[in-house]
Structure formats: C-alpha cells, structure tokens
C-alpha cells in the first residue's frame, strides 16, 4: 500500500471538499425540495465532479486517483485523513508537542563540573 499516495489523495480531497460543500449548500438554499434523499445524490455528483477536477488541476495524480479523491470528498476527506493520521502518521499536534518539550529541556551542570 502506498501510504504517501493515499495521504496526497486525502489532502486533495480536503481542499476539494471545501469547494463542494459550498456548492452543495448553495444548491440547498436555491432549490426548494422536500425530499432530502435527492440531496444525497446531488452531493455525490457535485463531489465527484468538482472533487475530481480540483484534484486533477492541483496535482499530478492519474484520473483514477482523482476519482478516488472525488469520492473521498463526498465521504468526508477530513475525517478519513484524521483516521489515517491517528493510525499511520505522527499527528501534527504530537510533533508540535515534542518540539515544545525539546525546547523546554535545560541541562543543569553536574556536580563533577564544579570541582
């Protein structure tokens, strides 16, 4: 399994997700439908189209991986990325915490240094 490829696909889907969420929200505001099941299909279609095009525009991934990114966009790329981050990557918050802890370490002189 190519973890870096999966990570890149999820990151592209996060960016595409912002755009598709905006578009789906505008569609919901503009269209007065009582059946919410239709919005699931509208959301899927918008995510596949715009998520795929967004990924294709801003990465060098193949069309197949761009389609996966579009599907991740619909399924909640941020949730997928957070799940992967917890399982496979070192979380950014942990990296920052380790960096802060290293900066806080102060070496005290040893007793032998004073003789």
Could you tell me which residue, 81 or 20, shows the higher pLDDT?
20
Confidence label for 49 from pLDDT (cuts 50, 70 and 90): very high
* Average pLDDT of the residues in 52-65: 89
Q: What is the DSSP string of the chain?
A: --HHHHHHHHHHHHHHHHHHHHHHHHHHHH---S-THHHHHHHHHHIIIIIHHHHHHHS---HHHHHHHHHHHHH-HHHHHHHHHHHTS--HHHHHHHHHHHHH--PPPPGGGG-
Q: How many residues does the chain have?
A: 115
Contact yes or no for 39/33 (Cβ under 8 A): yes
Confidence label for 63 from pLDDT (cuts 50, 70 and 90): very high
- For the chain, the structural domain boundaries read 3-90
């Amino acid at each position: 399994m190519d973890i870096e490829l999966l990570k890149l696909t999820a990151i592209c889907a996060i960016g595409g997700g912002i755009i598709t969420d905006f578009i789906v929200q505008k569609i919901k505001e503009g269209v007065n439908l009582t059946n919410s099941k239709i919005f699931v299909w509208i959301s899927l279609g918008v995510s596949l189209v715009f998520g795929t095009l967004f990924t294709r525009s801003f990465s060098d991934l193949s069309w197949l991986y761009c389609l996966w990114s579009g599907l991740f966009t619909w399924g909640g790329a941020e949730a997928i990325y957070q799940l992967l981050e917890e399982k496979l990557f070192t979380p950014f918050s942990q990296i920052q915490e380790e960096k802060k802890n290293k900066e806080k370490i102060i070496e005290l002189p040893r007793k032998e240094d004073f003789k």
